């Protein structure tokens, strides 16, 4: 039992990695630091390439194990629901671990992060019996052949995930991979390994065979060893564009399948006919929620010139109403940034914007003295070539500019290397549909923000990624089609 400030009595998961049933000995470690205090509370094992190899080989054995491979679809579905039941029963503990690790407000982790992860597992639990191939008459030689296709699990999957939504983004990969019949090795971010370690304990308790879901902890070197391992058939990655590029390069020697969900600089267009009572709070929280640490946050706000000042005032009011505080405090609504490094990075962006003559306005606070807190900040009249208009800040910093015509706003919105999400606030249906078609983004939100659902695909155009997660589309990433052709 560890006594951790704010979470007294919270029991950490076993900080042990396993190759199938066997614990593996690991010499190196990384520090896990509470973002609310800056204090180290645990040492997390850092897996070497040899440790990674042992875990991947165990995952490969598990992939061939009839207890997993030959599980009939309904048995697989039931097993995934039992896994979801186990997480549900563990909700207070896994939520506390996630809140401690990320610094997010506990009330948000309990009501959003963990339930979201569970709902993804249940949504994909419904798929195993529905992953059918097809039979079709051949055009070339009618009547001479019977041909059909099968959809087979691709093999051992590596999931490499970031620290902003650790359990949710892991489950976006685990749920479809398991539904497809793959086995999976998850490497969480070194800042936030606890929910992943707890998750494998729950998977074992729910009866998933050894090696079907494993975790290796460590930093980028551990991730690189996993991403390059020849036994890995597919890598599912969420994180920075630079690391995504390194993972894609590492996939080349063994031609791994890769999906990348990367950064963004998602625009929000706020038209003069928008319902400001709902548009203003959403434009604010679309950037400030989770202290801006969201890949598809709306971080560039274009507002019709006639309402620019009114909207900016409104956003500052919304930001100021957010209570910023530690994760264990049930009244907190915004937490700190994840690390000293992220705090430096975000501060640097705002400092350089100010140095360049851009007006920075406070849009929230006060913030606690200790920890890596950063108050919501609004930047006004930001030129389109400014660094803060082009680069992902990953903090609660909203860059804004006025526009006159919708065509101009769409051109500004599309003037980005990224293409993850885009938002339009308008009550005009024509504007909504025309903008939705014209915006270069994987998801367009009309009069709403921050919605992901297992029902529809999520991912990026341009430098925001390759492939899609969620929807039925994600299953293609974990299945290999095979055609069977038989002479009659
Ligand atoms: P990162 O992309 O480097 O880390 C994400 C994951 O990749 C972690 O698990 C990390 O250990 C692993 N990793 C790092 N290098 C690797 C490599 N060469 N091969 C395989 N795995 C590797 O992100 P970061 O350094 O934690 O954050 C940097 C920036 O990335 C942030 O400031 C933010 O702009 C962006 N970011 C984006 C997202 C997102 O959801 N799109 C999430 C987190 C961070
Ligand atoms: Mn942590």
CA-based torsion, 32, 169, 460, 276: positive or negative? negative
Q: Pairing mode, if any, of strands 156-160 and 183-187?
A: parallel
pLDDT of residue 8: 85
pLDDT band at 1 (very low <50, low <70, confident <90, very high): very low
How far apart (Å, rounded) are the C-alpha atoms in residues 372 and 347?
11
Among this protein's residues, is 295 annotated catalytic? yes
* Pocket mutation for ligand 1, best pick of 158, 164, 239, 241 (most atoms within 8 Å of C-beta): 239
Q: What is the mean pLDDT of the chain?
A: 97
The answer on pLDDT for 218 being more than 80 is yes
Give the residue among 411, 346, 305 at the shortest CA–CA distance from 422. Answer: 411
The answer on pLDDT for 3 being more than 70 is no
- Tracing tokens 């950037």 back to the chain, one arrives at 287
Say if CB 149 and CB 134 are below 8 A apart.
Answer: yes
Rounded to 10 degrees, the C-alpha dihedral 11/15/21/24 comes to -160
- Tracing tokens 């948000």 back to the chain, one arrives at 108
pLDDT band at 338 (very low <50, low <70, confident <90, very high): very high
Ligand 1 surroundings by CB, under 6 angstroms:
160-164, 187, 189-190, 219-220, 223-224, 227, 238-240, 243, 246-247, 262-263, 295, 342, 345, 392, 394
How far apart (Å, rounded) are the C-alpha atoms in residues 102 and 468?
25
Q: What's the pLDDT tens digit per position in 339-392?
A: 999 999 999 999 999 999 999 999 999 999 999 999 999 999 999 999 999 999
Q: What's the pLDDT tens digit per position in 231-261?
A: 999 999 999 999 999 999 999 999 999 999 9
Q: Which atom number of ligand 1 is nearest to the Cα of residue 162?
A: 5
For the chain, how many residues are written?
488
pLDDT of residue 4: 76
How far apart (Å, rounded) are the C-alpha atoms in residues 354 and 86?
50
Mean pLDDT across the stretch 82-87?
98
Say if CB 77 and CB 129 are below 8 A apart.
Answer: yes
Atom 32 of ligand 1: nearest residue by CA position = 394
Ligand 1 mean position, distance from CA 239 (Å): 4
pLDDT of residue 2: 53
Ligand 1 mean position, distance from CA 306 (Å): 39
The answer to whether the predicted template modeling score (pTM) of the entire model surpasses 0.95 is: yes
* Pocket mutation for ligand 1, best pick of 162, 244, 391, 417 (most atoms within 8 Å of C-beta): 162
How far apart (Å, rounded) are the C-alpha atoms in residues 280 and 356?
27
Q: Where are the alpha helices (DSSP H) in 267-382?
A: 276-288, 308-320, 340-355
Q: Name the β-bridge partners of 108.
A: none
């Amino acid at each position: 039992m560890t006594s951790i400030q704010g979470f007294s009595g919270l029991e950490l998961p076993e900080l042990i990695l396993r190759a199938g049933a066997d614990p593996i000995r690991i010499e190196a470690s990384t520090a896990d630091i509470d973002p609310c205090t800056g204090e180290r509370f645990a040492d997390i094992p850092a897996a070497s390439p040899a440790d990674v190899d042992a875990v991947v080989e165990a995952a490969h054995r598990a992939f061939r194990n009839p207890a997993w491979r030959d599980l009939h679809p309904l048995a697989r579905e039931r097993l995934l629901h039992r896994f979801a039941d186990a997480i549900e029963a563990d909700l207070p503990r896994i939520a506390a671990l996630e809140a401690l690790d990320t610094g997010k407000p506990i009330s948000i982790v309990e009501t959003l992060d963990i339930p979201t992860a569970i709902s993804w597992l249940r949504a994909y639990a419904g798929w195993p019996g529905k992953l059918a191939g097809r039979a079709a008459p051949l055009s070339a030689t009618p009547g001479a052949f019977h041909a059909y296709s099968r959809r087979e699990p691709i093999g051992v999957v590596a999931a490499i995930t970031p620290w902003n939504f650790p359990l949710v983004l892991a489950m976006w990969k685990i749920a479809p991979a398991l539904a497809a019949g793959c086995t999976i090795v998850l490497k969480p971010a070194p800042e936030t390994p606890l929910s992943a370690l707890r998750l494998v304990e729950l998977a074992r308790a729910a009866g998933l065979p050894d090696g079907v879901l494993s975790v290796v902890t460590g930093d980028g070197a551990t991730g690189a060893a996993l991403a390059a391992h020849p036994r890995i058939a597919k890598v599912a990655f969420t994180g920075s564009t630079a690391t995504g590029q390194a993972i894609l390069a590492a996939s080349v020697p063994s031609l791994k399948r890769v999906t990348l969900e990367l950064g963004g600089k998602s625009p929000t267009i706020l038209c003069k006919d928008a319902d400001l009572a709902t548009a203003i709070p959403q434009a604010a929280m679309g950037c400030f929620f989770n202290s801006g640490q969201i890949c598809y946050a709306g971080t560039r706000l274009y507002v019709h010139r006639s309402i620019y000042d009114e909207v900016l005032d409104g956003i500052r009011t919304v930001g100021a109403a957010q209570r910023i505080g530690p994760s264990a405090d049930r009244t907190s609504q915004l937490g700190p940034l994840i690390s000293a490094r992220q705090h430096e990075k975000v501060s640097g962006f705002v400092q350089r914007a100010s140095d360049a003559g851009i007006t920075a306005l406070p849009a929230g606070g006060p913030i606690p003295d200790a920890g890596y807190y950063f108050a919501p900040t609004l930047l006004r009249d930001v030129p389109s070539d400014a660094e803060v208009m082009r680069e992902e800040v990953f903090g609660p910093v909203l860059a804004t500019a006025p526009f006159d015509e919708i065509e101009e706003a769409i051109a500004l919105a599309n003037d980005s290397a990224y293409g993850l999400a885009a938002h339009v606030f308008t009550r005009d249906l024509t504007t909504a549909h025309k903008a939705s078609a014209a915006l270069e983004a994987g998801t367009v939100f009309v009069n709403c923000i921050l919605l992901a659902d297992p029902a529809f695909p999520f991912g990026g155009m341009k430098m925001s990624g390759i492939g899609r997660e969620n929807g039925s589309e994600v299953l293609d990433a974990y299945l290999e089609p095979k055609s069977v052709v038989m002479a009659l």
